[in-house]
Amino acid sequence: MAVVYRGTPISQGVALGHVLTVKELFLNIPQQPPDDRVAEVGRFCDCHRAAVEETQSLLENAKICLGKDEANILDAQLTFIQDEFSVIEPIKEAIVEEGLNMAQAIDCVLSKISNLFRQADDEYMRQRAADAEDIRRRLLTHSLGLTEQNYSDLPPDTILAARNLTPSDTIRMDLAHVSAIITEQGGYYSHVGIITRNQGIPSVSGLNGILTQLQDGDEVIVNGNDGTVIAQVGTVERNEFYDLLRHQREEAKALERYRFADSCAADGTQGLICANIGNETEVSRVLEAGAEGIGLLRSEFLYMNCGQLPSEEVQFQAYRKVLEAMGNRPVTIRTLDIGGDKDLPSLPMEHEDNPFLGCRAIRLCLSHVELFRTQLRALLRASVYGNLHIMFPMISSLDELHRAKAILDRAREELTVEGITTAPVRTGMMVEVPSSALLADTFAKEVDFFSIGTNDLIQYTVAAERGNPGVEYLYTPYHPAVLRLIAMTANAARENGILCGMCGEAAADTALLPLLWGMGLREFSMSPGAVTTVRSALAGIETAACEALVPKILACSQAKDVKELLQKQMYSHLVG
């Protein structure tokens, strides 16, 4: 009898194959201190040099075998591993000043960096912990004289099962023969997610304990659409798989015509489908996906990957690169969104008992005006190279917005006095806390656009931490309270003649799309891989029918009622 395991869908698609478990390399770190600390630093330098050379080799292989996006992961790692401030010098100091051997020093420094990323409230930044872990393992492998496992010659229809996979793991693998990847850990923005989506390999993560349930050689079906893995496959399951595979291929062919199409409803009402990205290297994915702009560029990558605060010039060059690549398409850059839960080496902060309700995002920037001013100057300097929109995160009061705008105005005045040309920019804010939604009618008179960040809005509205299994049942965009806040925000935007969009995970939920469209949202920003799916769904709905649906949904008192009504109405009234 078939056994079904449920995880989190990471990359769409279905696959049938046989399990191969990826064995983890055991890293036994010696505890004895070095006899000669200076000599130990020299040995570390040799080890580091070898690890850099290996990273360079992996990068070249990635360019040849995988493609630009995958190579960008290794390119970022190459920069990271050579960072004097956050990697090299701290390891040397740990050896000389603390008397650690080089393996202990490597483990200590890179583990701290990895933990720093894991504490981030943004999922994309949390997944960057895998890069730090990969570098840690590479340095330790060289320091301990170990050799990585070889997965370069795999049999056809291999289903890889692992606790987690690092970028270097996947680059060493024979992905041509990998039908699917399943992992216990990882998330949508993990490197496994990026690589499997770009390579078209179905993937499921969050399968806790799956390595103890499956054996090498077991035949399984992996469904990256709904996050299920089926073991002990029988005739019924096999036939259902082939039917699903056939349907999937037909659907993918049909979606291709929407890749570079206009984003509009069946009645011709125009919208905008944009993409979210985490750094400047991902612009190619945006363009290849046919996105009409960047609805969210997380600027934190400039701060998280180095041991010192990025200079105005470093930021300017990064923003300019994105704007030039995007041409006239809108590029919305969110100002720095970090907080007390992330103790950056370059920005020491006091410990907070509840950092998610503490000094983060705009609150942090307003308490570190010079930090904020530097970023705003860089953004304004870059504005002449494209269609820049600046977005302030976690605004909860009118005073915060006024102060942020005043600093932006002063930065522009400074640049003008210095003879530096800037271009007009649209200024907006994220609506991600209940207070900003409740005061949306006031805020709408002060900004050019709203972007609803559903990830935090849900968390703060229902008082349920994202990723906490104990309260997972509460964390849903279908919660009536959340939907009413979204409706209030959209109404205020419409009444004041400004654009209202969404950049949270819910923006890619095609089941919610008719409701959000009916509320008046006209811009949706998501992972590049979801663009054509959402654009296709938008082409099949009628605006008037969507608007008629809104009061019915807002009258619901439970999330399950919302889901049922949406499912019912989608097919009986909304399809054009």
CATH number, domain of 430, equals 3.20.20.60
Q: Please check whether residues 182 and 302 belong to one and the same domain.
A: no
Catalytic residue among 47, 274, 365, 503: 503
Q: What pLDDT score does 341 carry?
A: 47
Is residue 27 assigned to a domain? no
Is residue 13 assigned to a domain? yes
Gap between the Cα atoms of 299 and 98, Å rounded: 34
| Joined tokens for residue 390 | 């600046």
Q: Please check whether residues 421 and 544 belong to one and the same domain.
A: yes
User: DSSP letter string over 523-561?
Assistant: EEEE-GGGHHHHHHHHTTB-HHHHHHHHHHHHT--SHHH
- One-letter amino acid for residue 169 of the chain: D
Q: Please check whether residues 182 and 315 belong to one and the same domain.
A: no
pLDDT 10s digits, 18-68 = 999 988 888 899 999 999 999 999 999 999 999 999 988 888 777 656 655
Q: Please check whether residues 216 and 240 belong to one and the same domain.
A: yes
Q: What pLDDT score does 467 carry?
A: 55
**262 in helix, strand or coil?**
coil
Q: Please check whether residues 564 and 437 belong to one and the same domain.
A: yes
Gap between the Cα atoms of 490 and 444, Å rounded: 10
Gap between the Cα atoms of 341 and 358, Å rounded: 9
Q: What pLDDT score does 85 carry?
A: 87
Give the end of a domain, one of 126, 144, 162: 144
Please state the domain count of the chain. Answer: 3
Catalytic residue list contains 191: yes
- The residue ranges of DSSP E strands in 50-199, in sequence order, are 158-162, 178-183
Catalytic residue among 47, 48, 142, 191: 191
Give the end of a domain, one of 109, 144, 179: 144
Catalytic residue list contains 503: yes
Structural domain boundaries enclosing 518:
258-574
Q: Please check whether residues 436 and 333 belong to one and the same domain.
A: yes
- In the predicted model, residues of the chain with pLDDT beneath 70 are 63-70, 120-127, 189, 198, 304-307, 339-356, 466-470, 472, 570-576
Q: Please check whether residues 371 and 469 belong to one and the same domain.
A: yes
Is residue 113 assigned to a domain? yes
Give the end of a domain, one of 144, 160, 176: 144
Question: Which residue in 432, 425, 427 sits closest to 446, CA to CA?
Answer: 427
Q: Please check whether residues 233 and 314 belong to one and the same domain.
A: no
Question: Which residue in 563, 454, 459, 440 sits closest to 511, CA to CA?
Answer: 563
Q: Please check whether residues 294 and 413 belong to one and the same domain.
A: yes
What is the model's pTM? 0.71
Is residue 179 assigned to a domain? yes
In our burial notation (b when 16+ CB lie closer than 10 A, e otherwise), range 344-376 reads: beeeebeeeeebeebbbbbbbbbebeebbbbbb
Q: What pLDDT score does 574 carry?
A: 45
Q: Please check whether residues 154 and 132 belong to one and the same domain.
A: no
Gap between the Cα atoms of 436 and 394, Å rounded: 8
Q: Please check whether residues 222 and 237 belong to one and the same domain.
A: yes
Is residue 26 assigned to a domain? no
Q: Please check whether residues 221 and 266 belong to one and the same domain.
A: no
Q: What pLDDT score does 356 carry?
A: 65
